[in-house]
Structure 1
């Protein structure tokens, strides 16, 4: 194996477990994702693959329109819903495991205005860091996501 990263081509998808898929589908539509495929998992190979042989869930594939390379968010809505632990809320960026999703944009101010106008909660002021403009938001079910505009004014990167 060489020193270059020839094995990984690009990100393919992110899977997010949600209690209710409807609000998540609506939210990700604001970011340019469209629903492409819905499948019901009721045991079988997909459940065994995920290490949950008795799993029942809706698996919803959302595709980012116009993305090259192709990128998806896959939602899992379990039946029955999994329990919730208020101490492990997704917007708690100090917890272990999943931290946040980041989406690259060309105009962070316009994207922010669009999201805020549609009721999305902004979690941080804009920050210039390593030649990027960054801003955090709260997505569906408290999932933290970030907008990234490359070419910020910070000259340190």
Structure 2
């Protein structure tokens, strides 16, 4: 079912130092988007969310792997938020796995009692869906169009 890790998302107060840090490991900025409400904010369960979404891609990777930075406006505090998940906190946000068939993977997870946290969303040539993992962590499935 899982093909490979796709990306990890990390919430930050200031994306600049994080971009410089991950550049040391070969990650280069590949996409920047402003989230100001709309579909991406609703998908993450925060309809009024405002953030810069900065994608850093690992150059030369055999399979695409990204570190996505969310620089929230205003910056979030250190409160971990409410269970089961709070995607607005700083630090680890979610881990995403690439799949070849998001509908089949969703059906499999649902049949095994996994909680779905979002509807499916099309974003940047990908189908996405969030799930609740153990200890309230958030996992995402990604089906890329390529």
TM-score tier after normalising by the smaller chain length: 0.5 to 0.7
Relative to its length, the structure with more strand (as a share) is 2
Residue in 2 aligned with 1:38?
32
When normalised by structure 1's length, the TM-score is 0.50
Point out the structure with max Rg over C-alpha: 1
Query: For the aligned residues, what is the CA RMSD?
Result: 2.1
SS in 2 for 1:23: helix
Asked if residue 72 in structure 1 is aligned to residue 66 in structure 2, the reply is yes
1:16 partner SS: strand
Write the mapping of 1:51-130 to structure 2, written as runs, cut at 5 A.
Answer: 51-84=45-78
Give structure 2 stretches of 5+ with no counterpart. 80-90, 96-146
- Stretches of structure 1 that go unaligned for 5 or more consecutive residues are 1-6, 86-96, 102-157
Could you give the per-residue CA deviations for residues 92-127 of structure 1, whole angstroms, max 9, x where no partner exists? xxxxx95xx9xxxxxxxxxxxxxxxxxxxxxxxxxx
- Aligned-pair CA distance for 1:84: 2.2
Q: How far off its partner does 1:12 sit? A: 0.3
In 2: Cα distance, 1:49 partner to 1:33 partner: 26
TM-score by length of 2: 0.54
Matched pairs, number: 83
Inter-partner Cα distance in structure 1 for 2:60 and 2:17: 22
Residues 123-142 of structure 1 correspond to what in structure 2 (within 5 A)? none
